Amino acid sequence: MLIDTFTTTVELRTYEACREALFSPHLSRTFDTRGYHDGNIREGIVSTAHGPMHRARRRVENTQFRPDKLRLYEQELFPQVLSDLLDQLIVGEEIDLYRVGETLASVLASRRTGLDIRERDLDELAAIVEFVDIFSQGAAILDSKDPEAVRAMVYDAYERFDREYVTPARQRREGLLARLARGDLEEDDLTHDILTALLQHRTDPSLELMDDGRIVREVATYLQGGTHTNGQTLVNAVDLLFEAEAGGRPGLVERTAEDRAFAQRVVHETLRIRPTTPKIRRRTVADVTIGGQAIPEGSLVIVDVVTANQDPAFGDEPARFDPDRAIAGDVPRWGLSFGGGAHICPGRTVAGGFPAPDAHGSADDASADEHLFGLVALMVQGVLRRGIVPRPGDAGVRDTRTERFTRWAHYWVRVGAPRAASAVR
Amino acid sequence: MPSHDTLGVRLHTIGVMGAIVSIDADFCVGSGDCVRLLPEAFELREAAGVSVPLPGAATAPADLLVRAAQNCPTGAIRVVAEDGTVLHDGNG
C-alpha cells in the first residue's frame, strides 16, 4: 500500500476551505512512509517533504525563481529557442501538439534544472521528454492504475537519468564550485540552476542532501515539474480555444495570437479550468479545523481543485472558459492549480508570469517592459501564429494511465496559413 | 543555507510608529511574494534565503500588509496594528 491507514477521509470543495487546507502547516504531503530502499520513489524530495527540511530546501531552490532570472529566461533566452524549435517542429500537414509542447517546455526546464543538453537537437529533447513522461507517472503514482509497474519503471529511469545526465552535469558544476573556492572564479561565473544551488549548499545538514540519490530525484522532480505542466497547459489552452470557437465564439484564436496580455489570461483561465493535478492530497499531522470542520490527526484530506476553481469566487458562470472574466478580490486567476501554501509550485511564475494588474497588481506590473507573461503564453502564441487549426474528428487522445483527466497523450492539429507574425516577438 | 540570518536573528520585527510587522526566519522560505507586492516594506536577504521587513513596513498600507501576510506561503508574517490589534497572525 502506498498510503497508510487514515483516521478518516475528508474531501474539500469550496475555494476558501481548499485554500485554508493548502496553507495549513498541519497538513503534510508525506504519504509513503516506506524507506527509499523499500521502494519509495519520491523519498527525500522537496515536494513530499514536510517541516524544517522542506523549508530549508525551498530557501535554496527559490533563489532560482527570482524576477531577474525569470526575465532572463522569458525575454532573452526563450524567444529564440522557441522560434528555432518551431521551425523544426511545425512542418508537414499535421503535427502532434502534445509532443510539440513537451519538447518546447523541456528545453528551459533542463536549463533551469541544470542539465547540459543540446537545446536544438530534437533527438536529445525526445530523450528528455521520455524521462519526463516516466517521472510524471511517478509523480502521479497516487492516482496510478498500476503503481508497482510505475515504481519499477521509475527506478530504472533514475539509473539511466543519473548516468546520462545528472552525473556529467554534477561533475562539471563541482569543478566550477572548486574553482570558486580557490578564488579562480567569481560567483557570477557559476551556472545558475537548481543543481548548482543544491551542490553549493550540500554540506548544510538542514538540507539532508548527502545521499546522491536524493540529488538525482530532486533534479528529476524539477525537470518533470518544469516540463509537464507547461506542455499539458499548452495543449489544454489550444483545445479550449478551439472548443470555444466551435461553440460559437469566433475570434478567440486570432486575439490570442495577436495580444500577449490576452494570451496570458487564456493560460490562466486554462489552468483554472484544467488543472494538471485535479485533486491534491494531504495528511493531517495534528488535529485541525478547516473550513469550520474538525479533522482529526492522521486523516486524508482531498482538495478538489477542479470544483474549488469553479467556486462563485471566480465570478459569473465559473464553469465557462472565459479569459476576460472579472475576478474580485485577491483570488488568483489560475485558482488553486499551482497548489498553495508551503508547497505552492515554485515555477508558477515561469509558467504563468506575474499576476495581471486587473487581478491583483504588484510592483512588477508597474512597467510593461518588466511584466512577465509566462512561458506558456509565449508557447501558445508561437503555435497559433504558425497557423495551427483543428483537425476534424477525434484529434485528442487522453492520457488514461492515471485518473487525472486533464492530461493528454496526443493532440493532433493541422498546419494552416501563418497568423500574425510568424515569430514570437 | 541557514534559516537565521547572518546575525543569528530568528524574528525580524519592524515598527516603532504604526504597524508592527514580524517575519519568522524559521518559517520564511524566501519566496519573495511579499517583496513583489510591497518592495518598500520587505527585502530579500539572499545570503540567508529569507525576507525581512524594512522600516517602510511600519507605514505601509495595512490592507497590503495583510494581503502580503495572507499570501505568504508559509505564514511567516505577522502584522499588528498600532493599537495592538492583531491584523494577521503568522505560524511562528
Give A340 to chain B, closest Cα distance, Å: 7
Chain A environment of B44 (Cβ under 8 Å): 66
pLDDT at A29: 85
pLDDT at A49: 86
User: Which pTM was predicted?
Assistant: 0.91
Whether B73 and A360 lie within 8 Å, measured CB to CB: no
Whether A62 and B30 lie within 8 Å, measured CB to CB: yes
| CA-based end-to-end distance of chain B | 20
CA distance A176 to A190: 6
Give A63 to chain B, closest Cα distance, Å: 7
pLDDT at A40: 79
Distance (Å) of CA A356 to CA A48, A273, A373: 30, 18, 8
Q: Would you state the cell numbers that stand for residue A240, as one nine-digit string?
A: 479550449
Chain B environment of A342 (Cβ under 8 Å): 29, 73-74
* 8-state DSSP, A198: H
pLDDT at A42: 83
pLDDT at B18: 79
pLDDT < 50 stretches in chain A:
1-2, 35-36, 359-366, 422-425
**In this structure, are residues A123 and A422 in contact, taking their beta carbons and an 8 Å threshold?**
no
| B15 has a pLDDT exceeding 80 | no
pLDDT at A36: 46
Residue A180 forms contact with B (CB below 8 Å): no
Give B2 to chain A, closest Cα distance, Å: 8
- Of A353, A343, A178, nearest in space to A334 by CA: A353
Of A206, A342, A364, the CB nearest to B36: A364
Domains of chain A, each with CATH number or no CATH: 9-40+67-126+227-415 (1.10.630.10)
Whether A56 and B50 lie within 8 Å, measured CB to CB: no
How many CB pairs lie under 8 A apart between chains A and B? 71
Of A63, A330, A343, the CB nearest to B46: A63
Whether B29 and A360 lie within 8 Å, measured CB to CB: no
Give A344 to chain B, closest Cα distance, Å: 7
Enclosing H/E stretch for B53: strand B50-53
Chain B environment of A56 (Cβ under 8 Å): 1, 3
Domain boundaries, given as residue ranges, for chain B: 11-88
Chain B environment of A360 (Cβ under 8 Å): 67
Chain A environment of B91 (Cβ under 8 Å): 25
pLDDT at A424: 47
Q: Would you state the cell numbers that stand for residue A352, as one nine-digit string?
A: 504563468
Residue A360 forms contact with B (CB below 8 Å): yes
Distance (Å) of CA A49 to CA A29, A52, A175, A225, A343: 7, 9, 29, 16, 9
pLDDT at A368: 63
Whether A62 and B29 lie within 8 Å, measured CB to CB: yes
| Secondary structure tally for chain A: helices H, strands E | 16, 10
pLDDT at A400: 79
CA distance A323 to A245: 13
ipTM at complex level = 0.88
Whether B29 and A344 lie within 8 Å, measured CB to CB: no
- Of A114, A135, A138, A139, nearest in space to A198 by CA: A114
CA distance A395 to A272: 23
Whether B39 and A63 lie within 8 Å, measured CB to CB: no
pLDDT at A140: 80
Whether B36 and A60 lie within 8 Å, measured CB to CB: no
CA distance A188 to A195: 15
The CATH number assigned to the domain with range B11-88 reads 3.30.70.20
